[in-house]
Structure formats: structure tokens, C-alpha cells
Chains A and B, each alone.
Chain A
Amino acid sequence: EAQVTQNPRYLITVTGKKLTVTCSQNMNHEYMSWYRQDPGLGLRQIYYSMNVEVTDKGDVPEGYKVSRKEKRNFPLILESPSPNQTSLYFCASSPSSPGGGYGYTFGSGTRLTVV
């Protein structure tokens, strides 16, 4: 089954404790992206990647890191989480850049709480 898999689904952590949210896709997609979803704000893009070793900032990259060492994986790293990063996070992939008219396949989401 074609899918984007995120882990974990739920995570509660303390301020300053480094964490990684994993994302993997099995569709050989070139493009991957991370979004956060907050009430009333819709989805805001954190980082995206056009291909292996090619990443760029989205609209809200502060406090986050990403890497793309393999085509299928695109982990999101919070090196020193803060309470304002409490949110619902989604990983998404598409065959190529979204400007080419390709829609996203989304993961099921990771609900992160930072206390």
C-alpha cells in the first residue's frame, strides 16, 4: 500500500530534550515536506526537500532541523523543543514539486506536546 508513515503518533516531552519525528514514504517520491497544524492557522510549512541532500526552509523553520540522506526518509529534528512547538505535525510527499500540479500524500500526523 502506498503510504507515508510517521512515528510516533503521540509524544509528550519536556522543554529542551532533543527529539526526532520520523517520516518514511514507499512511493519513490522526490519531494517531501513537513507541516505543522495549529487551530485557526491551517497548515504552515516548516521545511521541504526536493531530493536527497536538497532541503530548504518553509515559512516557519525556526527551531527545527531536517535531513534527507535517503530518498524515502525525511526526519524532523527538534534539538531543544519549547512549549510553542506544541502542535500537530504532518509529513507529506509528492512525485515532484507541487508547482507541477502534483498533490500530496500525507502521513497520519504526530501530536507533540512540550511541557
Chain B
Amino acid sequence: GNSVTQMEGPVTLSEEAFLTINCTYTATGYPSLFWYVQYPGEGLQLLLKATKADDKGSNKGFEATYRKETTSFHLEKGSVQVSDSAVYFCALSDYGGFKTIFGAGTRLFVKA
């Protein structure tokens, strides 16, 4: 079946450091891929998405590229801020499917 694997956290960075959160997936066909962010005490928010191979999703300085050859969708940001501290979830939905599967989440702490 489909699955999503994220790097375990927590990830602790200093402000202005480069961020990478790894995400790999297993799926049949051509899934859509998503990153969501959850700030403390809130629901998840869609951060970015990509729907086909080589697509790059981007939002608020975050980027992720849909790599079919490595079945990956790693999240990157060039310079993190304290306000980026949150839990990040990678997710996939099968093409034409009705379910979304989430990874376990990666907690990011950014120190001033």
C-alpha cells in the first residue's frame, strides 16, 4: 500500500540556517504530493503541493520538488526564522483517489 516516510525530529536550527526535511513515498501510479504545517495549538495548513513529476511547489520561501526517480519530495528553505518553528507533515494522495496519507510529522525548532 501507499506510505509516506519523513525524517524523524526534532530538528533544531539557528535562525538563518538552511532547512531540509526529507520525505520519501511509496505509491502506485502518479500521486499528488503535499507539505502541511501545524503551528502550536492550530490545525494543519497547506504549505505547498506538486501534482506531477519534476513540478516544484513553493510558498513563503519553502520549496519542494517532486522527484519520481527517487520517490522523494524534500522540503527546503534557504533561511529559517523563529516563526517557522512548527510541525511539518508530508502527505500524498493517489491520482484519482479519495484518501490522503500523512507522514508522522517532523518538529522544527528555530533558535534566535
Contacts and interface: CB of A to CB of B under 8 A. Distances in A.
- Chain B CB within 10 A, most for which of A45, A99, A105, A108: A99
B43 A106 contact: yes
Contacts of A31: 98
Contacts of B96: 97, 99-100
Q: How large is the interface on B (under 10, 10 to 19, 20 to 34, 35 or more residues)?
A: 20 to 34
Interface string B85-112: 0000100011111111111110000000
A59 B97 CA distance: 14
Nearest to B51: A101
Interface string A71-115: 000000000000000000010100001111101111111000000
B44 interface: yes
A10 to B, nearest CB: 11
B49 to A, nearest CB: 5
Contacts of B46: 103-105
A103 B99 contact: no
Nearest to A88: B43
Nearest to B98: A97
- Chain A CB within 10 A, most for which of B31, B51, B94, B100: B100
B96 to A, nearest CB: 5
Given A42-B102, A48-B99, A99 B32 contact: yes
Nearest to A35: B102
A98 B102 contact: no
Interface of B: 31-32, 34, 36, 42-46, 49, 51, 89, 93-105
Given A42-B103, A90-B43, A99-B32, 18 more contacts: A4-B43, A33-B100, A42-B89, A42-B104, A45-B99, A45-B101, A48-B99, A90-B44, A98-B32, A98-B93, A98-B100, A99-B31, A99-B97, A101-B51, A103-B49, A108-B42, A108-B43, A109-B43
